Amino acid sequence: METKTVLYGKNLEISERIKTNVTSKTDKFSKFLTNIEEVRIDLAHLKTARNANDRYVSQITIRGKGFILRTEERADELSAAFDKSFDKMIRQIERFKGKRGRTHLEKVFVDPAAPQAEPEPVEETPVIARRKKFALIPMTEVEALEQMKLLGHEDFFVFYNGNTSAINVLYKRMDGTFGLIETEIA
């Protein structure tokens, strides 16, 4: 199955040289990971960035059967931002494959007569420190944004969208704007 690669640019012109560089590197993802359905690369030039070193943003999203991996990096040059996000994605793929491989290996039969090697230190899995339950009241996106600000929630706000009859997540993006995640049952 061939991987679909999609390249988007915001506030910049994507030259043939950039396209060639990006696609030649992203083709390497299939060597590391199988079952990739889509690789999406978003390149952006932020004209109003606070820091000159954050002017260019490269975001890579890999979608596959049962997983989504995403990286985002910023730099003062477009190629540097892409290279940083590419390297970060390779590390993320290796970490993802390692976690998936460990769970598979735990299910394999181990011969008790075989000499046991010293167990390797395993990364501790994150622990859920707190749980919250709350009632979701139907509201619009504008009401959710107002509620988010009133409650002092800086990063995100979960709400029931009365217009779409779905649970949505409103979140603040790194550039100061807001994003909306619209959920659906798969």
Q: What is the pLDDT of residue 57?
A: 92
Residue 118 lies in a domain: no
Cα–Cα distance for residue pair 147/167, rounded to 1 Å? 15
Which region, left, alpha or beta, applies to residue 33 given φ > 0 means left and ψ of -120 to 50 means alpha? beta
Last residue in a domain, options 46, 81, 104 = 104
Full-model pTM: 0.58
Cα–Cα distance for residue pair 74/178, rounded to 1 Å? 19
The CATH number that applies at residue 169 is: 3.30.505.50
Residue 144 lies in a domain: yes
Residue 18 lies in a domain: yes
**Burial group, residue 70, by CB count within 10 angstroms (0-12, 13-18, 19+):** middle
Residues 28 and 77 both lie in one domain: yes
Residue 130 lies in a domain: no
Quick one: which of 9, 19, 16, 32 has its CA closest to 89? Answer: 32
Residue 161 lies in a domain: yes
Residues 12 and 87 both lie in one domain: yes
The CATH number that applies at residue 26 is: 3.30.160.100
2-28 pLDDT, tens digit each? 678 899 999 888 889 989 988 888 888
Residue 127 lies in a domain: no
Q: Provide the number of structural domains found in the chain.
A: 2
Question: 74, 52 in Cβ contact below 8 A?
Answer: no
pLDDT band at 159 (very low <50, low <70, confident <90, very high): very high
- Say whether 98 sits in a helix, a strand or coil: helix
Residue 27's CB is within 10 A of a number of other CB atoms, namely: 12
Quick one: which of 129, 125, 146 has its CA closest to 137? Answer: 146
Residues 149 and 65 both lie in one domain: no
51-104 pLDDT, tens digit each? 877 889 999 999 888 788 899 999 999 999 999 999 999 988 888 887 665 554
105-155 pLDDT, tens digit each? 444 444 455 555 555 565 667 788 888 887 888 999 998 998 888 777 788
DSSP state letter for 75? E
Q: What is the pLDDT of residue 31?
A: 83
Q: What is the pLDDT of residue 100?
A: 63
Residue range of the domain that includes 153: 138-182
